[in-house]
Chain A
Amino acid sequence: DAGVIQSPRHEVTEMGQEVTLRCKPISGHDYLFWYRQTMMRGLELLIYFNNNVPIDDSGMPEDRFSAKMPNASFSTLKIQPSEPRDSAVYFCASSFSHGYTFGSGTRLTVV
């Protein structure tokens, strides 16, 4: 099993540009989560899906953030337009029951 796969590993973009982060969950996992990690705020849940359906997006900071899960093997987190305060490490995680398996994250830097 390849685990949860995220791409890209690193992204540097200019303020105002659109950013798309990608995630492939573990096959058979029916929950998918997007987290953001910063020094100040730690790990914050942004949104999670169950069977490809968004269940709770209350953690999405603003309308600039959107997430989709078109099928069981793929999800995207999009930021448009990006701002310097969006700089963080973004993790995707998937789960079948208790506990999550995290991907290696995407380190986003907005300059």
Chain B
Amino acid sequence: GQQLNQSPQSMFIQEGEDVSMNCTSSSIFNTWLWYKQDPGEGPVLLIALYKAGELTSNGRLTAQFGITRKDSFLNISASIPSDVGIYFCAGQGSGCSNYKLTFGKGTLLTVNP
């Protein structure tokens, strides 16, 4: 089945630093999504990308849908302590599996104040 390779697995940064994480896939996706999961909660959607090459921002977060449709990255600028959590990329396919999301293994972000 489809697999997503998400990196890095974990990051330890100082407050105020910028962060970058990415996902790559062997398959093409029609939609890329980025989620954040806080401890004890379900993942929450941060950004959705619908077109190859699309660059979308949500506050301090910026994400891009790769031209090949097989990759995406997420940047967080000027990190703050509440950015701590696990970030997941997810790809949504086409055809019969259009509504299935395939998730990466996540990037655990720790921000030191």
Q: Quick check: A101 and B45 within 8 Å, CB to CB?
A: yes
Q: Bound state CA distance, A4 and B41, in angstroms?
A: 12
Contacts beyond the supplied A42-B106, A55-B99, A104-B41: 4 A-B pairs with Cβ under 8 Å? A43-B103, A93-B42, A100-B45, A105-B41
Q: How far is the CB of A55 from chain B (nearest CB, A)?
A: 8
Q: For B33, B42, B50, B92, which residue has the most chain A Cβ atoms within 10 angstroms? A: B42
- Indicate with 1 or 0, residue by residue over A94-111, a CB within 8 angstroms of chain B CB atoms: 010011111111000000
B: residues with CB less than 8 A from A are: 31, 33, 40-45, 48, 50, 88, 92, 97, 99-106
A: residues with CB less than 8 A from B are: 4, 31, 33, 42-43, 45, 48, 50, 55-56, 91, 93, 95, 98-105
By a CB distance below 8 angstroms, the chain A residues around B43 are: 43, 91, 102
By a CB distance below 8 angstroms, the chain A residues around B40 are: 104-105
Q: For A31, A98, A101, which residue has the most chain B Cβ atoms within 10 angstroms? A: A98
By a CB distance below 8 angstroms, the chain B residues around A105 are: 40-42
By a CB distance below 8 angstroms, the chain B residues around A98 are: 31, 33, 48, 50, 92
Q: Quick check: B88 and A56 within 8 Å, CB to CB?
A: no
Q: Quick check: B99 and A102 within 8 Å, CB to CB?
A: no
Q: Quick check: A48 and B100 within 8 Å, CB to CB?
A: yes
Q: How far is the CB of A8 from chain B (nearest CB, A)?
A: 14
Can you list the 6 inter-chain pairs with the closest CB atoms, starting with the nearest?
A102-B42, A43-B103, A42-B105, A99-B45, A102-B43, A91-B42
By a CB distance below 8 angstroms, the chain A residues around B106 are: 42
Q: Quick check: B33 and A99 within 8 Å, CB to CB?
A: yes
